Chains A and B, each alone.
Chain A
Amino acid sequence: MNIVELLIPELILLAGSVACAIVGVSTRRSMRDALPAVAIAALGAAIAWTLCCGDTLAEAAPMPALSKWVTVVGCGLGMLLVLLNAGTADRDYEAAVAAGRTKFDPLRTTRGEFYVFMLLSIGGLLLAAKARDLIWLFLALELTSLPTYVMVAMSRREQRAQEASMKYFFLGAMSAAMFLYGFALLYGATGTVELAAMHEVFTAQQGDVGMIALVGMLLAILGIAFKLAAVPMHLYAADVYEGAASSVTAFLGFVPKAAGAIAVMGLLWTMGMHADGWLLPPMVEVMLWVMAVLTMTLGNVAALLQSSAKRMLGWSSVAHSGYILIGVIAGPDHGGWAAVLVYLLGYGLSNTGAFAALAALRRGGNEVESLEDLSGLAERHRGAAWTLAISSGSLLGFPPLLGFWGKLLLFIAGVSSGHIVLVVIAGLNSAISAAYYLKLVALPLMGASTARSREVEPLSVQWPRIAGLIAAAAVILLPIGLPAIAACAAAVLVN
């Protein structure tokens, strides 16, 4: 298959981002208001093309069908995230223009760029799933991350957003250098940058892959752990998630994390897939194991201590990376990677819903952040309160919500691949996480209103609320189709 045809979904997103950049500087307000529609149309077109004509996408990639799944899920969730971010950038400026207080100046607006960055970052996620060599993987991961650094900085006018962007960017650049050095060592050990050829070399070595390749793999995983927000590269997570606008935080919680998980799976495939089944080199497995345990424990314990709902959700997203790593360790044989894909879908929807509830509310012109602001929310803002409650329930893994099924699949995969201790630790962690997630369920629905929560007002823009409701509805309704979803995810991994 020719390479241009392979890249049509990404090219559609690229065309969409160019269109957004042009529409964003239009002097007509109705045109600028159509920006989210343009971005969503591009994402929809990418999905439609993949479903209709994308049958044999990326046949040379390690997992040929993976890119179809990632395109549909990534662009689908991307539509929600675009909807959630509609009206984030330049909200005050657009309001001033609408009220006639100032004239529109194409040089001052950054609204179009904001959608461009979202589409490009999602494009990076799609490319990561198609990666067939290390160069491709490196470029895809960078394409996913570089736009998000800018999105964080421009999402709010406050200094906190810029501080968050600084921390995110510098740690991001450092981690990129780290996985790049890992790639260099992997290349040195195998003499090829192509994943399939690397796989052949490692298979021929029959488990004894050599020191250079091992160190390279460890460095690569450590660097990519930044995208996952996994220990030890998690340090930025709480600060960045707090500093960015809630709608952007939802984006950061899904797109880079999904790209990171997929990249780690693609790399591990080269080393762990053998003719007689899935077996990682012991050193790599031990490191992933320790990372998983530390990530979920640290994430959950730190989340428990927070008084800000945003920081709490930030730390909880660190914990979720730990759960994802269980599936990664379990490998493709025991349904581990299929579980990761289902889990990413459930986590992405729930995370988007939770942050959408926060993004849909305002208190005195600022974001709603502390738990106190959320107490007794249901009395005045029923939609946001229920969205938050349902999403938090799903993040906790409360049956029958989607998050529960994702977690169940992960735990089953963990047990059947023999990592019982790991699953027990994850179970204990889920119990810890109940303590703070139930706060997010109970406070809005049953808490008493406080002086702070009475000042909470809905955002003037409707879209975040609608995005939250869609996410919450999906979290409730998708488990009906769960067998089909799980079957699709499992089929993705059959070579």
Chain B
Amino acid sequence: MSDLLHMTLASAMTEADLARFLVLSSLLFAVGLCGFLTRRNLIVMFLCTELMFQAAVIAFVAFGRWHWDFSGQVFVIFILTIAAAEAALALALVVLLHRRRNTLDADTWTELHE
């Protein structure tokens, strides 16, 4: 039974399916990268890096399903953990910066420059 299930699931993903997942994930990555480069609000910039992380997550899950290999999904669990740690750090930093300047605009921080 489990073999049959395995076969059914394994054959359910076609190359076109994989391509759809990859297009979604690369779009997400591109949106995140563009947002990171163009937006100046610290929280929005952080959310953009999160989008990029999630793009990688989708790619890992899709590839894991494609190869019928679970290490892609295992990887995702670790990525989520790291993303949570980074979120904690980001929010702590944002609170610290907001207390100092009362704004979340990255462009107000220009003491260090050439």
Chain B residues with CB below 8 A from A238, complex form: 112, 114
Task: A176 to B32: give the CA distance in the assembly, Å.
Answer: 13
In the complex formed, the residue of A with least CB distance to B60 is: A184
State whether A243 touches B63 (Cβ < 8 A).
no
> Is B78's CB under 8 angstroms from A139's CB?
yes
Please give me the residue from chain A that is nearest to B85 by CB atom: A146
Beyond A135-B74, A180-B56, A193-B71, whether A150 also contacts B82 by CB under 8 A is no
Which residues of A sit under 8 angstroms from B49, Cβ to Cβ? 170, 173-174, 176-177
Say yes or no: A173 contacts B72, CB within 8 Å.
no
- Enumerate chain A residues within 8 angstroms of B97, measured Cβ to Cβ: 162, 166
A197 CB to nearest B CB, Å: 10
Among residues of B, the one whose C-beta sits closest to the C-beta of A141 is: B82
Q: What chain A residues lie within 8 Å of B33 (beta carbons)? A: 174
- By a CB distance below 8 angstroms, the chain B residues around A153 are 93, 96
C-alpha spacing A191/B111, complex, angstroms:
47
**Chain B 42-61: CB-based contact to A (< 8 A → 1; otherwise 0):** 10011011001101100110
- Closest A residue by C-beta to B101: A159
Q: Of A135, A162, A163, A180, which is within 8 A of B53 by CB? A: A180
Cα–Cα, bound, A177→B72 (Å): 16
State A133–B75 Cα separation when bound (angstroms).
10
Q: Say whether, besides A138-B78, A180-B56, A187-B63, A174 and B36 are in contact (CB < 8 Å).
A: yes
* Complex Cα gap A434–B58 (Å): 49
A170 CA to B109 CA, complexed, in Å: 13
Cβ contact within 8 Å between B60 and A187: yes
B113 near A239 (CB under 8 angstroms)? yes
Chain A interface residue count, CB cutoff 8 Å, equals 42
Contact B85 A162 (CB under 8 A): no
Tell me, in angstroms, the Cα distance from A61 to B52 when the chains sit together.
29
Kindly list chain B residues whose C-beta atoms are within 8 Å of the C-beta of A184: 25, 56, 59-60, 63
Nearest CB to that of A238 among chain B residues?
Answer: B114
Residues of chain B from 89 to 114 with CB closer than 8 A to chain A in the complex: 89-90, 93, 96-97, 100, 106, 109, 111-114
A186 (CB) vs chain B CBs: closest residue: B63
Residues of A within 8 Å of B106, CB to CB, are: 166, 170
Contact B112 A167 (CB under 8 A): yes
A419-B40 Cα distance, complex, nearest whole Å: 42
Residue of A146, A174, A181 with most chain B CB atoms under a 10 A cut-off: A181
Q: Which residues of chain B come closer than 8 Å to A138, judged between CB atoms?
A: 75, 78-79, 82
Closest Cβ–Cβ distance, residue B57 to chain A (whole Å): 8
Q: Are A177 and B112 in contact (CB under 8 A)?
A: no
Q: Are A239 and B72 in contact (CB under 8 A)?
A: no
Chain B residues contacting A133 (CB-CB under 8 Å) are 71
| Chain B residues whose C-beta falls within 8 Å of the C-beta of A86 in the assembled complex | none
| Complex Cα spacing A177 to B89, Å | 16
Q: Judge if A165 is at the interface, Cβ distance under 8 Å.
A: yes
B112 touches A170 (CB 8 A): no
Nearest-neighbor residue (CB-CB) of A215 within chain B:
B26
Total B residues in contact with A, Cβ cutoff 8 Å? 44
Contact of A281 with B by CB under 8 A: no
Asked if A405 is an interface residue, CB under 8 A from chain B, the answer is no
Contact A166 B109 (CB under 8 A): yes
Cβ of B79 and Cβ of A180 under 8 Å apart? yes
Instruction: Determine the chain B residues whose CB is within 8 A of the CB of A165 once the complex forms.
Output: 93
Provide the residues of chain A in CB contact with B36, threshold 8 Å: 170, 174
Which of B69, B78, B82, B90 gathers most chain A CB within 10 Å? B82
Q: How far is the CA of A138 from the CA of B63 in the complex (A)?
A: 18
A315 to B, closest residue via Cβ: B114
User: Nearest CB to that of B55 among chain A residues?
Assistant: A181
Whether B111 contacts A159 by the Cβ 8 Å rule is: yes
Asked whether, in the complex, the Cβ of A181 is within 8 Å of the Cβ of B71, the reply is no
Note all chain B residues with C-beta closer than 8 A to A169: 89-90, 93
B111–A163 touching, CB < 8 Å? yes
Q: When the two chains form the complex, which single residue of A135, A149, A174 contacts B75, counting CB atoms closer than 8 Å?
A: A135
Residue contact A239 to B112, C-beta cutoff 8 Å? yes
Q: Is the CB of B112 within 8 A of A146?
A: no
Q: What's the nearest-Cβ distance from chain B to residue A443, in Å?
A: 21
B52 lies within 8 A of A178 (CB): yes
Q: Are B112 and A242 in contact (CB under 8 A)?
A: yes
How far, in angstroms, from A173 to B112 measured CA to CA in the complex? 20
What residues of A have a CB within 8 angstroms of the CB of B71 in the complex? Answer: 133, 135, 187, 192-193
Closest-CB distance, A140 to chain B (whole angstroms):
11
Q: Give the 7 A-B residue pairs with the shortest CB-CB distance, closest first.
A: A177-B52, A188-B63, A191-B67, A184-B59, A239-B112, A173-B49, A163-B109
Known: A149-B89, A173-B49, A192-B71. 19 other contacts (CB 8 A): A133-B71, A135-B74, A138-B82, A159-B100, A160-B111, A160-B112, A166-B109, A167-B112, A173-B86, A173-B90, A174-B48, A174-B52, A176-B49, A177-B55, A181-B56, A184-B63, A185-B59, A188-B59, A243-B111
A-B contact pairs, 23 of them (CB 8 A): A134-B75, A135-B71, A135-B74, A138-B82, A142-B85, A159-B100, A159-B109, A160-B112, A163-B112, A166-B42, A169-B90, A176-B49, A177-B49, A180-B79, A181-B29, A188-B62, A188-B67, A191-B67, A193-B75, A238-B112, A240-B112, A243-B111, A243-B112
